[in-house]
Amino acid sequence: MNIGMVCYASVGGSGVVATELAHALADRGHRVHVISSEPPFRWRSGVAGLSFERVEVPPYPLFREPQYLLALTNTIARVAEEHRLDIVHAHYAVPHATAAYLADQMLTTSAVSGRTIVSPRTVTTLHGTDITLVGSDPSYRRVVAFSIERSHGVTAVSRSLKAGTIAALGIQHDIRVIPNFLDCAEYRRRFDPALREQLCPVNHCDALVVHVSNFRPVKRVDVALEVFRRIRRRVRARFVLIGDGPERADIERLAAEYEMTSDVRFVGERQDLVAWLSVADMFLLPSAQESFGLAALEAMACEVPVVASNVGGLPEIIEDGVTGFVCPPDAVDLMAERGVAVLTDPALRASITHAAAQVVRSRYCTDLIVPQYEAAYLDVLGSS
Ligand code: GMT
């Protein structure tokens, strides 16, 4: 198949999933054209069957607002014509589902006016905040719901997000749940003793806690710091925060206020995530919302016990007390309690990490999930 994969380039789960899906589909013999403002995070160049199509938004002094939707629509239509796309797969509904719909309308219209263009089928994958935060905002709600309804196929990354989309937007369209995935050969514990010693020197530190996010309010990194503060009262632990985003400076200030700078490190965005996860003893994810929680899945694959909030799709991947811990989002003391337990009880830790890695390998590897996307493509092509 010829597939146009539309995604955001910034660090974020939807861009990661789209890019990994593009790589996996190219490996399976499809031609995939990734359409974005720049090569996305995790993009690997020089892969056979994979190409990148940049969305150019020309500046014009009269506009204070960049016209990304128009430029994206135009790019999708151009790529669809040039490469005879079968499928346009929009990751994150806002505004990608709308751009895919507009491009479809443009191409269908030109076909009707006598040209031999067959318009590609559109598939939209809902990732989370495109529904829960942005898409259901009254400023966007109607057009987002309309664009999702007009997609030929719709998928969501968890059962919780599917239910949330129906509730928030009143979507009638059949929504297929296809969970996120990872490369299980890549995501496995690879312990680097030098990195461990650098982050948690054996003479000063007994446990290493990690958090990975894009430091937006929904991630509640301040709560992660509060949980760590409580853990640190009982365990000689250190905390490494990976990633970057709008809240980072505030959280760094908070760590200084709490006089924790010697035990808390902010290391920014990291490409070699497996190495950083593999030296950790615990992963904290106290998000307010998390439609799936790809970061938690990556930690589980690297045998790091996760303590997270019981929101969105997290309870679908973490079975409380078996493959990790999920707690009410405001239960800071309970999260700390679970953290201390897993950091101080080696048998508990071994059983959690073993069960978590098993679940990842039996349910969330690329080879198990990518065929589900191929089936979704074939379904919409079959119904055209
Ligand atoms: O809002 C974000 O955190 C970014 C968003 C994205 O577009 O990358 O993440 C969402 O999609 C990820 C990939 O499907 C999920 O793993 C995240 O749980 C989801 N984030 C939220 O629901 C907050």
Atom 7 of ligand 1, nearest CA residue: 14
Whether 112 and 257 map to the same domain: the answer is: no
| pLDDT interval class at 64 (50, 70, 90) | confident
Whether 244 and 341 map to the same domain: the answer is: yes
The residue-averaged pLDDT of 345-356 equals: 98
Cα→Cα distances 275→7, 159, 285, 302, 349, Å: 26, 31, 19, 9, 19
Ligand 1 pocket test, pick from 124, 126, 129 with the greatest ligand atom count within 8 Å of Cβ, gives 129
Ligand 1 pocket test, pick from 10, 96, 127 with the greatest ligand atom count within 8 Å of Cβ, gives 127
What pLDDT is recorded for position 113?
58
Q: Is the pLDDT of residue 253 over 80?
A: yes
Atom 21 of ligand 1, nearest CA residue: 290
Whether 225 and 150 map to the same domain: the answer is: no
Instruction: Report residue 49 as tokens.
Output: 């069957």
Instruction: Give me the domain span that covers residue 151.
Output: 2-181+365-382
Whether 162 and 24 map to the same domain: the answer is: yes
What pLDDT is recorded for position 61?
85
**Better pLDDT: 42 or 174:** 174
Full DSSP string of 114-138 = T--PPPPEEEEEE-SHHHHTTTTST
Domain tally, the chain: 2
Q: Which helix (H) or strand (E) holds 25?
A: helix 13-27
Structure-token match 């003793």, residue found: 193
Average pLDDT, the chain: 95
The helix/strand/coil state of 29 is coil
Predicted confidence (pLDDT) per residue in 211-241, tens digit: 999 999 999 999 999 999 999 999 999 999 9
The residue-averaged pLDDT of 15-42 equals: 95
* Size (the chain), residues: 384
Rounded-to-integer distance, Cα 362 and Cα 368, Å: 8
CATH of the domain at 350: 3.40.50.2000
Predicted confidence (pLDDT) per residue in 273-332, tens digit: 999 999 999 999 999 999 999 999 999 999 999 999 999 999 999 999 999 999 999 999
Contact residues of ligand 1, CB 6 A cut-off: 12-15, 17, 92, 127-129, 157, 180, 218, 289-294, 312
Sheet holding 207-212, edge to edge: 264-268, 237-242, 207-212, 282-285, 306-309, 325-327
Q: Is the pLDDT of residue 371 over 80?
A: yes
Instruction: Report residue 96 as tokens.
Output: 């990608």
